[in-house]
Amino acid sequence: MYAVSSPGKRNAAFTLIELLVVIAIIAILIAILVPAVQRVRSAAARTQCGNNLKQMALGLHSFHDANYRLPPGMDAACSFNVHLLPFIDQLVLADQFQFNTVNFWATDSNANLMNGVFLSIFHCPASGLVDQNGTTRNGNKAIQKSCYVGISGAVNGNIPGYTDPSTESGGGGAGCCGGNIISGGGVLFPNSTIRLVQVWDGTSNTMCLGEWASLLNKTTTAADWRSPHGFPMGNGTGTAFGKPPPNYNPGGDIRTFNCTTIRYAINQVNGWTNDCQTGVCSNHGANAPLRSEHTGGVNVAMCDGTVRFLASSTSMDVLSRLAIRDDGYPVSPP
């Protein structure tokens, strides 16, 4: 016998129109939810990035408590990052580092020690940069670059009526080896020995750390011009550069690895030509701008240990005042 459908009874299957309506509803929901999820992820990454800076700033305070001064931004052996290691839960690694050497870049033992090491505190989760691509003199080493940078001060001309006597110019050329303008007006600069009581503008009004967590020249040939030899790199040529600015190396090679002197606006990432006369070049400009993948600005750490978010629209006047510890014109982060 054949089954006969009852009059008025519908089949269980969807009609084509009903299926299209369901698909359209799903598409609308996805269009609503995906940006929301992305915003949550971006906010979480920005928060974690700020927490990294917070821990590094607290590490600076712990170093200060133990040594009655902040670490040098960089010295003959290494950068401030290495001096921070015992105070950011990396004592075992720090104890193996050889400080009685000419410099990190030329020392095989230190390079081997850092080879392949990845410290999450030096990485901003919003950044798409490949961190373990620093190089050393002996080559073939995967040295992590940091997404964070010490603030050395600011160039003259950004603050009306103020001249920083500690600025110094030198270097030039394309690619290597330049620098251009460095300052000793901040708290982390070559051979610095700053105590917090010397931050006369107030620790809550003075930056110590910022972000270097984005590529430069995004619209042309994207470039990762962070410190090319990784987070441990200090003075490029060792003990010959034993003084702070303005007597670091007048007229010569004044590269400042893992430190920057404020000269350009936040997130000014395009238009660079690898000319060290601009202070923005591959090896290694002293004036590379603060930059990040966060929407609208960068995280910075203040000398009191707090973390602030500075908008890309922050004026050069305000940004420079925040970078100098004793200009006499204290401003609060906007």
Tell me whether the omega of the peptide bond preceding residue 284 falls within 30 degrees of 0, making it cis: yes
- Token pair in block for residue 251: 């007229």
Place of tokens 């373990």: 132
With a cut of 80, say whether residue 135 has pLDDT above it: no
- Region 10-29 average pLDDT: 77
Dihedral of CA 184/187/192/198: which sign? positive
What three-state secondary structure class fits 269? coil
User: For 12-103, where are the E strands, in sequence order?
Assistant: none
Query: 233 — phi, psi (to 5°)?
Result: -65, 130
Name residue 65's amino acid. D
With a cut of 90, say whether residue 112 has pLDDT above it: no
Question: Comparing 102 with 26, which gets the higher pLDDT?
Answer: 26
- Provide the pairing of β-strand 259-262 with 180-182: unpaired
The pLDDT tens digits of the residues spanning 171-216 come to: 666 656 767 899 999 999 999 999 999 999 999 999 999 999 999 9
Contact 139, 243 (CB under 8 A): no
pTM for the model stands at 0.85
In Å, how far from its chain's centre is CA 324?
18
pLDDT at 155: 95
Question: Comparing 14 with 157, which gets the higher pLDDT?
Answer: 157
Contact 245, 166 (CB under 8 A): yes
Residues 6+ apart with CB under 8 A from 220: 270
Q: Which residues pair with 310 in a beta bridge?
A: 298
- Provide the pairing of β-strand 168-170 with 180-182: antiparallel
pLDDT at 2: 47
Mean pLDDT score of the chain, rounded to an integer?
85
Of all residues in the chain, the percent with pLDDT exceeding 70 is 85
DSSP string computed for 210-249 = EEB-S-B-TTSS-B--S-TT-TT---TTGGG--S-TTSSS
The pLDDT tens digits of the residues spanning 47-98 come to: 899 999 999 999 999 999 999 999 999 988 889 999 999 999 999 999 988 8
